[in-house]
Homo-oligomer: A and B are copies of this chain.
């Protein structure tokens, strides 16, 4: 029976495999149609290079060295033009350097007897191998020329070692360089001229999407903070996902940004209106956005803390907070549009509305002196009791084991007694310990305005950090010669650009890994 069932399951899996493959293929293609084009480009390049073998006259001239052209195409042709150029030039440079060094060493070795020559070659291989590998740990070389050093090592060893057995090494090397050049040529042709994907464009678009994601996250956070209780759990976690998605791309963007900027710096400039495109400035802006993102994460954390300001209290500040968030998010979207359309941002970016909203928030906080007054014990306890009851209900609904939240240190005492009795019982350890600090926190009668104060303070903090972002975007506009801001300029352009730029952030991530995992 067991075996039969196992076979059944395996058969089912095999039967569903083609469907799964097809679905994944469709999804991958729909996410970014440029992937399909890239695949076809690779296929075409390989076929072109294979012609060196398949067509008689070509084969007669080049011979079996044509394999090197095939190898070059497989290894060098990458998703974006920048990555291809970076790899191609690294490969060329590495090959040239290795060839020169190998000939120098061969020249020295040739003057002596056969046995000494073998020893000399062995020693050279050891020394150069160790030195080149060690050099790969140097930060600067690792960053820019890691692939080049690998190719250097490969070529050097192949030439040096085979020179011991073959006499016309110079001819071999010449032929090989020739075919590698053909391979590189095909790659460059394909990646630069036929439906090119630019790393620079990727970086540009991902920066725009990051700004928009942060704007969405902030609005989402504030909306959820003030509306959550009435909405059912399903919808709530969905909006939580939205918030998370907004800042997630920003938090993990460091390595992607850096490699895209590096690749972009190899690309020829393909826009005519700027003398020099400041890719490093995009990386810097990315860093500032990441720091802004950390504040958004903390803001999001406020929605999930154990002690919560009761809804009745929060509702008092709903209006000013929502307005501040809306203004911050508006400013971020304006910055995103400014970068997208390559124009300076509107001088109205920090509007009076933002200032008014901040002032209203301030007024609202001041008008509720009792909230921030912890010593008014009765009221505080009442509020906390309310909050605790609410929290308890919620926990029950979500199936937790804690039926009510203890509001004094008796909870801790209880926990301690329990702990003493289970000290040795391994299995229960996991169930009990994790609750401790949550109990410890909820059992304290903190002024329940404290969490709201944190929320408000973080919101104000985002406004302060907005400055840094505006700073960097302005600097970017200055270096990249963005055009002047003209009112009413955006509406038409946006229609065009929004459509075609959506899937790019996924691509840049995939494209990075394709860079890093490639041979």
Are B516 and A516 in contact, CB atoms less than 8 angstroms apart?
Answer: yes
A90 smallest CB distance to B (angstroms): 9
Scan residues 398-455 of chain A and give those whose CB is less than 8 A from a CB of chain B.
Answer: 409, 412, 419, 423, 429-430, 433-438, 440-441, 444-447, 449-451, 453-454
User: Given the complex, which residues of B lie within 8 Å of A10, measured CB to CB?
Assistant: none
User: Given the complex, which residues of B lie within 8 Å of A347, measured CB to CB?
Assistant: 419, 423, 429, 433
User: Given the complex, which residues of B lie within 8 Å of A446, measured CB to CB?
Assistant: 362, 365, 460
Are A146 and B514 in contact, CB atoms less than 8 angstroms apart?
Answer: yes
Q: Name A residues whose Cβ lies closer than 8 Å to a Cβ of B.
A: 24-25, 28-29, 35-36, 38-40, 42-47, 50-51, 53-55, 59, 64, 66-67, 70-71, 74-75, 118, 121-122, 125-131, 133-134, 136-139, 142-143, 146-147, 150-151, 153-154, 157-158, 160-162, 164-166, 251-252, 254-255, 291, 294-295, 297-298, 301, 305-307, 347, 349-350, 352, 354-355, 358-359, 362, 365-367, 369, 371-376, 409, 412, 419, 423, 429-430, 433-438, 440-441, 444-447, 449-451, 453-454, 456-458, 460-461, 463-464, 466-468, 470-471, 474-475, 478, 510, 513-519
Instruction: Please list 19 pairs of residues, one from A and one from B, whose beta carbons are closer than 8 Å in the complex, sorted by A's number.
Output: A35-B134, A43-B133, A46-B125, A64-B165, A67-B161, A70-B157, A137-B510, A142-B513, A154-B519, A298-B298, A350-B437, A366-B374, A369-B373, A371-B372, A372-B447, A434-B470, A437-B463, A454-B456, A515-B516
Per CB-CB distance, the 6 closest pairs between chain A and chain B, nearest first, are A372-B372, A516-B516, A453-B453, A43-B130, A454-B457, A146-B517
A-B contacts besides A298-B301, A433-B474, 7 pairs, CB < 8 Å: A43-B133, A53-B162, A67-B162, A150-B519, A347-B429, A359-B409, A434-B470
